[in-house]
Amino acid sequence: MTGKSGVGKTQLLRAVADVIPHDGECILDADVCSSVSPPIWRKMVAMLPAESFWWYDSVGAHFNGGLLHPEFKDLMERLGFSQDVMEWQVSRLSTGERQRLSLIRTLINRPRVLLLDEPTSALDKKMVAVVEEIIADIRFHRQISCIWVSHDRDQLFRVADTVCTVETTGLVKENRE
């Protein structure tokens, strides 16, 4: 999804993740959002916000042992982190490091739908390519759906099956030019 600043792209993602009051209903396979307990819904339909927040001093405390699975060790390496990253202090992370770690943190819950709000805005070209590749792999292997919000139209046409522009009137499907 793309669209002008302030048109409501982030709000749309927050509504799907059910962290703001909204009209309508989200249905995932047979699960209706309003009848699933909120924490479970948000684990199934995981949103990666544009700005990540951290509340403990050390990086590791935010991951709660979820990284023991070899899949995540591999993910860490692909995103350019060494094994000792869990001992790092959050206050010393760069914006880009936070963004990459935040992606891993969201993936740990093994969501069935991923809502990505400008997930590569703070990354260099090389890392943008790595993240795009990781998301493509996950979509392929786990068969999950993804809503990717970005201002970069070229990126959207690289990663998405369908590209839409959010207008105040609704969604408009875009064609590859």
Partner 1 sequence: MNVISLSTFDLSLAASLLLILAATSLRIGLGLERRIVISGIRMTVQLLLVGMVLKLLFASEGFIPVGFMSIFMLLVAGYEVRARQKRKLRGSTGYLISTGSMLVSSFTVTFLALTVMVGVDPWYTPQYAIPMLGMLLGNTMNGVAIASDRLTTGMYDQRGVIEQRLLLGQSWQEASGDIRRDCMRTGMIPIINSMAAAGIVSLPGMMTGQILGGSSPLDAVKYQILIMFLIAAGTGFGVLAAIWLISRRLFDDRQRLVLDCLISVK
Residues forming the site for partner 1 (CB under 8 A): 17-21, 34, 38-40, 42-43, 46-47, 49, 51-55, 105-106, 109
Our CB check for partner 1 shows the closer of 106 and 155 to be 106
Our CB check for partner 1 shows the closer of 108 and 134 to be 108
Our CB check for partner 1 shows the closer of 38 and 133 to be 38
Give which of 8, 15, 12, 17 is closest to 47, Cα–Cα: 17
- Taking the complex as a whole, the smallest distance from the CB of residue 63 to partner 1 amounts, in Å, to 10
The continuous run of DSSP H or E covering 139 comes out as helix 125-142
- Taking the complex as a whole, the smallest distance from the CB of residue 105 to partner 1 amounts, in Å, to 7
- Taking the complex as a whole, the smallest distance from the CB of residue 95 to partner 1 amounts, in Å, to 15
How far apart CA 30 and CA 28 sit, in angstroms, is 6
Our CB check for partner 1 shows the closer of 102 and 150 to be 102
**Positive or negative CA dihedral for 120, 125, 129, 134?**
negative
How far apart CA 138 and CA 133 sit, in angstroms, is 9
The full length of the chain comes to 177
